[in-house]
């Protein structure tokens, strides 16, 4: 006779993309799950590491196309917890970095279901690092600011302006579709030769990194796939990217011809 399973939920950070950048604790919890709900940033390679007898449900959101609304996801977590037992909610990066983890925790706990959190490596740091771009550097940048580009109503967050006015390294998530507008806004407060990088599919085999300056962004913007998520890094630390000066010299020569 099968014992009745206790309802519980684990919010697990999957890391920045590469399957081997998930933590050991996260993998242990994943393989103890009775069912896994995963988002759009989870790679097939990582999913293949989960025990094949564990059911998986896609609950992804990408570029305005949602398989489920957030309210529906909250309801699914609770329903599956009572039906299956241990639900693992697998989120890209870290659950608490723009992952709406608090909303899910509050909803689930309101039903008396315990929730635990397994931190993940956030792409905000891992993706730039994988490209040789430091967040801080002695004598160049003493801080970094991770922010979302826009608020719920689509307008720019005031934090974007505050960060642009400082010398901090700016790391902007969920801003690819407003890349040109972001650069126009930041250019009001920073020099046009300020370096910028755009990283998509960070830490995976499909990783792409584009480097430029605020002034020369138009030379790379056409290459960026706005249907795919990515990270924007603005600040002098981007000059540490191995190809930054090479790319800038090529652009200068191109315009000179």
Q: Which tokens sit at 84?
A: 């299956």
Cα dihedral value 246, 251, 255, 257, nearest 10: 40
Contacts of 141 (CB under 8 A, 6+ apart): 135, 167, 168, 169, 235, 236, 237
Cα–Cα distance, 175 to 131 (Å, whole number): 19
61 noted as active-site residue: yes
Check: CB of residue 218 under 8 Å from CB of residue 210: no
180 noted as active-site residue: no
Residue in 8, 137, 159, 174 annotated catalytic: 174
27 noted as active-site residue: no
Dihedral sign, Cα of residue 248, residue 250, residue 253, residue 257: negative
Residue in 19, 34, 39, 178 annotated catalytic: 39
Residue in 8, 61, 137, 208 annotated catalytic: 61
Active site residues: 39, 61, 174
């Amino acid at each position: 006779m099968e014992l009745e399973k206790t309802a519980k939920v684990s919010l697990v950070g999957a890391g920045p993309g590469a399957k081997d950048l998930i933590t050991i604790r996260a993998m242990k919890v994943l393989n103890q799950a009775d069912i896994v709900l995963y988002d759009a940033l989870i790679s097939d390679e990582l999913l293949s590491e989960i025990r094949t007898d564990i059911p998986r449900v896609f609950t992804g959101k990408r570029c305005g196309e949602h398989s489920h609304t957030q309210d529906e996801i909250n309801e699914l977590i609770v329903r599956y917890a009572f039906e299956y037992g241990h639900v693992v909610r697998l989120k890209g990066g870290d659950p608490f970095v723009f992952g709406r983890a608090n909303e899910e925790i509050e909803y689930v706990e309101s039903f008396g279901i315990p929730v635990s959190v397994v931190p993940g490596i956030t792409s905000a740091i891992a993706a730039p690092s994988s490209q040789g771009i430091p967040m801080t550097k002695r004598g160049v940048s003493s801080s970094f600011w991770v922010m979302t580009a826009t608020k719920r109503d689509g307008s720019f967050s005031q934090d974007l302006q505050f960060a642009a006015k400082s010398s901090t390294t700016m790391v902007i998530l969920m801003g690819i579709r407003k890349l040109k507008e972001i650069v126009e806004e930041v250019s009001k407060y920073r020099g046009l030769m300020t370096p910028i990088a755009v990283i998509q599919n960070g830490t995976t085999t499909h990783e792409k990194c584009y480097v430029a300056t605020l002034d020369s962004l138009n030379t790379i913007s056409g290459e960026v796939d706005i249907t795919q998520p990515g990270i924007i890094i603005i600040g002098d630390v981007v000059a540490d990217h191995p190809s930054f000066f090479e790319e800038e010299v090529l652009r200068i020569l191109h315009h000179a011809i």
